[in-house]
Structure 1
Amino acid sequence: MSEQVSGPSLGMQILLQGEQSIYNCILADIATGKLISGDRLVTTHLASCYQTSINPVREALKQLEGEGFVTFQKNSGARVAAFEYATMREVFEILQLLEPYFLAWYAKHCSAESLARLDAIQAQLRSLNVNDSAGLRDLDTAFHWEMYRHHYNTSALRLWKNKKLILQALHGDLPVCQTRFSATIKEHDHLLYLLKAGDEESAVRALTKHVISGGDYWSSVITSQLSELSA
């Protein structure tokens, strides 16, 4: 297990709010770098860390194994797995379905107060250093959550938070290039403009494009990394 870091960021707090299962705790530790690829996952140690019994830890590890985050090896037990490209692709496909669904409702019901909060988050994004990839991911999560959190479908919201947490675990330590950094801010600006103008259909299209472009970017980054490793 790598060196412990400070408390969870704003984005991580959002993703874990009301979801303090052992599964989410382990996944969050992977996402924040407390647990890294190859680390042994000893059930008794994890149970002590999370102040629970062994059975919930075992169940969480089996679930994480099914999602490709944990591997069980003969004679060495459970370990944090290496990255699986297929997992990321599936997560992005789910987000591409969920996020326009949330925004279609938000565009009809957004309040002036909520739009002001989006403006405030966007102002923080613009003030970030272009090399602050963690800050971008953190505030991007907060920006999207402000739009989605008002939705009545709490089951769908829990699914969204789970998939975003999985994305953090998959590429939370990868840098964001300056082109994608700037594109994210511009895409948020355009979305905000459409929401304020009351153009619901265009806002949904803009968000869909934003989610797809993000997925395409990370797919290209990971594909490039895998090619380098296999070269």
Structure 2
Amino acid sequence: MPKEEKSIGQSPLLSDADSVYAKIMNDIADGVFVSGDRLVTTQLAKRYDTSINPIREALKQLQGEGFVSISPNSGASVSKFEFETMRNVFEILQLLDPYLLQYFVETYTSEQMAETQSIQDKLENMSDDELMEFRYWDTEFHWSIYKHHYNKQAIDLWKRNRLILHAMHVNLPINLIRIKQSIVEHRALLNAISNRDSDEALGVLRAHISGSGSFWSRHYRF
């Protein structure tokens, strides 16, 4: 059952924070439950102060989305993500991120840009001790850009794959060099966005995703 709590808050990708589904998903994405962990319905019901039926319904939904595996003999457990899954996730995000970004570059308002800027300021002002929170604020950064897109199906697909990424990487060690490099890349992306330069913004974003993918591919362990 649960590891030591690591959460710094509800994932920005889970809007219905009070639902049982969101609570379980947040715990998976946050590393409270990791790949292979059993998910016992009675223990989950106690943890989330609810009855068994909502837990079962949430687990079935998570099974359909690929986050949970359910078998007649061993019950429910967090899915065991493999290298192929990580590769597929990165390839999907490499397609979706530029698509969602371009719309923002062309349509953002001053208020929307100010929100993204404030998140970047938070990242740039983090101390080394606070950088363990980077994955949360990195997701906030990208979400502040993509959530304004009109294509809600594309946004939902992006959110699902981003959550899978969280679940796969949550127990990997923090690498300060890669984190600080990513923050610099965010700044370059913001500069291109502020100039309404789609070509430059897309180039920076593709390099950012590629760099992250190469790094985690080298460090991922089964």
Shorter chain as denominator, the TM-score bin is 0.7 to 0.9
Query: 1:229 — aligned with what?
Result: none
Using CA pairs below 8 Å that are at least 6 residues apart, which structure has the higher relative contact order?
1
> Match for 1:28 among 26, 29, 39?
26
Contact 2:6-2:31 within 8 A present in 1 as well: no
> Match for 2:121 among 102, 120, 123?
123
Contact 2:68-2:78 within 8 A present in 1 as well: yes
Structure 1 CA distance for aligned equivalents of residues 18 and 213 of structure 2: 27
Contact 2:67-2:164 within 8 A present in 1 as well: no
Q: Summarize the Cα distance change of 1:174–1:133 in structure 2 as closer, same or farther, 3 Å threshold.
A: farther
Secondary structure at 2:77's aligned position in 1?
Answer: strand
1:185 is the counterpart of 2:164: no
User: Which 10-residue stretch deviates more, 53-62 or 91-100?
Assistant: 53-62
Per the TM alignment, residue 186 of structure 1 is displaced from its structure 2 partner at its CA by: 1.3
**TM-score between the two structures when normalised by the length of structure 1:** 0.81
Contact 2:6-2:32 within 8 A present in 1 as well: no
Per the TM alignment, residue 104 of structure 1 is displaced from its structure 2 partner at its CA by: 0.8
Structure 1 CA distance for aligned equivalents of residues 154 and 22 of structure 2: 17
Contact 1:96-1:211 within 8 A present in 2 as well: yes
Query: 2:75 — aligned with what?
Result: 77
Counterpart residue type for residue 147 of structure 1: I
Structure 1 CA distance for aligned equivalents of residues 131 and 168 of structure 2: 14
Per the TM alignment, residue 17 of structure 1 is displaced from its structure 2 partner at its CA by: 0.9
Counterpart residue type for residue 133 of structure 2: G
Secondary structure at 2:186's aligned position in 1?
Answer: helix
Structure 2 CA distance for aligned equivalents of residues 66 and 13 of structure 1: 20
- Mind listing any 5+ residue stretches in structure 1 that lack a counterpart? 227-231
Structure 1 CA distance for aligned equivalents of residues 48 and 131 of structure 2: 28
Structure 2 CA distance for aligned equivalents of residues 140 and 47 of structure 1: 31
User: Which 10-residue stretch deviates more, 96-105 or 198-207?
Assistant: 198-207
**TM-score between the two structures when normalised by the length of structure 2:** 0.84
Counterpart residue type for residue 160 of structure 2: N
Q: Summarize the Cα distance change of 1:181–1:113 in structure 2 as closer, same or farther, 3 Å threshold.
A: same
Q: Summarize the Cα distance change of 1:76–1:55 in structure 2 as closer, same or farther, 3 Å threshold.
A: same
Per the TM alignment, residue 200 of structure 1 is displaced from its structure 2 partner at its CA by: 1.5
Structure 1 CA distance for aligned equivalents of residues 174 and 3 of structure 2: 23
Per the TM alignment, residue 126 of structure 1 is displaced from its structure 2 partner at its CA by: 1.3
Secondary structure at 1:78's aligned position in 2?
Answer: strand
> When the two structures are aligned, how many residues end up with a matched partner?
222
Counterpart residue type for residue 105 of structure 1: Y
Structure 1 CA distance for aligned equivalents of residues 105 and 73 of structure 2: 54
Per the TM alignment, residue 173 of structure 1 is displaced from its structure 2 partner at its CA by: 2.5
Structure 2 CA distance for aligned equivalents of residues 214 and 129 of structure 1: 21
RMSD: 2.7
Structure 2 CA distance for aligned equivalents of residues 161 and 90 of structure 1: 14
Per the TM alignment, residue 32 of structure 1 is displaced from its structure 2 partner at its CA by: 1.7
Per the TM alignment, residue 152 of structure 1 is displaced from its structure 2 partner at its CA by: 1.1
